[in-house]
Structure 1
Amino acid sequence: MRTWTTGTAGPHPPVVLVHGGPGLWDYLQPVASLLDPVTVVHRYDQPWDGPHTIARYVADLEELRRHWGHERWVVAGHSFGATLAFAYAHQHPERTAALGYLSGVGVGDWRTGYQRSWRTRISAGQAERLALLEEMTRTRDEEVEFRTLSWFTDHADPVQGWKWAAQDAQHDAAINFEANAQLNAETSAWSDAQVLGWAGELTMPAWFVHGDRDPRPLSSVERLAAAVPRGQLIVIQGAGHHPWRERPVSFGETLRRLVVGLLGENPQ
Structure 2
Amino acid sequence: MPELPEVEVSRLGISPHAEGQIVTRIEVRQPKLRWPVPETIKNIEGQTITAIERRAKYLLLHTPVGYAIVHLGMSGSLRVLPNATAPEKHDHVDLHLASGKLIRYNDPRRFGAWLWQEAGSDHPALAKLGPEPLTDDFNVEYLLEKANGKRTVLKSFIMDNAVVVGVGNIYANESLFTSRIHPKRPAGKLTREEAEKLVAVIKSVLTTAIKQGGTTLKDFTQTDGKPGYFAQELQVYGKEGKPCPVCGEELEGVKIGQRATVFCPNCQI
TM score, norm. by length of structure 2? 0.27
- Larger radius of gyration between Structure 1 and Structure 2: 2
Between Structure 1 and Structure 2, which shows a larger proportion of helix residues? 1
Between Structure 1 and Structure 2, which shows a larger proportion of strand residues? 2
Higher relative contact order (CA 8 A, sep 6+): 1
TM score, norm. by length of structure 1? 0.27
